[in-house]
Amino acid sequence: MGVAGWIWHGQRFPYLETCKDRTVYHWVGETFQPVARFTTSLVKLVPTEWGPPTFEIDGIKMLPTAHVSPYADAEHKVGLIQPRGKVILDTCGGLGYFAAWCLLGRARQVHSYEKTADVIWLRSLNPWSPEIGNGFTLTHGDIAEQIGMLSSDSVDAILHDPPRFGIAGELYSKVFYDQLARVLKRKGRLFHYIGAPNKLTSGRDVPSEVAKRLRYTGFVAKLTGDGVLAVKK
């Protein structure tokens, strides 16, 4: 420690003169830079009071943080599908918190998909994101397109945490739910995170709509917390 900076693992780093609010920084060359990229959207890592960060795409927060750590929230939701010994499909990987807890819960395999390359880059700088290997795969691809390549009855459980309905409506469609039912084994569990999008502005009850659509698809579904827990008949 000193007036000009501090030393970490034998390397000296300067204090930042100014810091942007709600921004995580990383060391690049000879200076600190925000963990943010703009390709087609602004994607950035955002600190939380809990420690593990969340992330935003064009200012839209992608993980719940108001009352709980996003990492602890993922632990609770993964517990709903009972990961031990299972092959799990993680449809929209994000920062990988679902996958991390599946691995800690002794899942046999976790197959995760993430559409946005810049989000995968965020993961590479986030110490709470799991590393590839030891039964964990991460595919850069849109699950709406990739799921057709998966074999029927090939997974024991599914975690589905899509972007908001207004951004990725195809991931809330019966066509997509039919594919989830196809790849999931009988009696397999699905947790579908939803939140409460549009409820205040449009009056729509998206969670109930999703539960109804899943029932038409062949699931027993019930509202659970901020999502729907479903079991394939």
pLDDT tens column, 36-63 = 999 999 999 999 999 999 999 999 889 9
Percent of the chain surpassing pLDDT 90: 79
How far does CA 169 lie from the centroid of its chain? 17
- On whether the CB atoms of residues 166 and 196 are closer than 8 A, the answer is no
Nearest Cα to Cα of residue 88 among 12, 185, 232: 185
pLDDT > 70 in the chain, percent: 96
β-partners of residue 210 are none
Dihedral (C-alpha) 58, 123, 54, 78: value to the nearest 10 degrees?
120
**Contacts of residue 148, Cβ cutoff 8 Å, sequence gap at least 6:** 179
Strand partners, 158: 89, 190
| 62: its two tokens | 């992608």
- When mean pLDDT is compared across 6-10, 130-134, 213-217, the lowest value belongs to 6-10
The mean pLDDT value for 153-172 works out to 93
Residue 1 scores a pLDDT above 60: no
pLDDT of residue 196: 72
Q: Say which DSSP state 74 is in.
A: H
Distance between CA 211 and CA 209 in Å, rounded?
Answer: 6
Assess contact for 196 and 228: CB atoms under 8 A.
no
Q: Does the pLDDT value for residue 198 go beyond 70?
A: no
Please state, as a whole number, how many other Cβ atoms lie within 10 Å of the Cβ of residue 198: 14
Lowest-pLDDT choice from 18-27, 97-106, 194-203: 194-203
**What is the chain's mean pLDDT, rounded?**
93
Strand-pairing partners, residue 136, are 110, 133
H-type alpha helices, the chain: 70-80, 97-104, 117-124, 143-146, 174-183, 199-202, 206-217
Task: Write down the pLDDT at residue 222.
Answer: 97
Cβ count near 64 (within 10 Å): 17
Q: What is the pLDDT of residue 175?
A: 97
The closest alpha carbon to 227, from 94, 112, 74, 85, belongs to 74
- The whole-number pLDDT of residue 197 equals 61
Ramachandran angles phi, psi of 53, nearest 5°: -80, 165
Cα–Cα distance measured from residue 163 to residue 222, given in angstroms and rounded to the nearest whole number: 20
Query: pLDDT category, 202, cuts 50, 70, 90?
Result: low
Which whole number is the average pLDDT over 6-35? 89
15 falls in which pLDDT band (50, 70, 90)?
A: confident
pLDDT band per the 50, 70, 90 thresholds, residue 16 = confident
Any idea how long the chain is? 233
Would you say the C-alpha torsion 136, 188, 115, 126 has a positive or negative sign? negative
Domains of the chain: 5-61 (no CATH), 70-232 (3.40.50.150)
pLDDT for 2 beyond 70: no
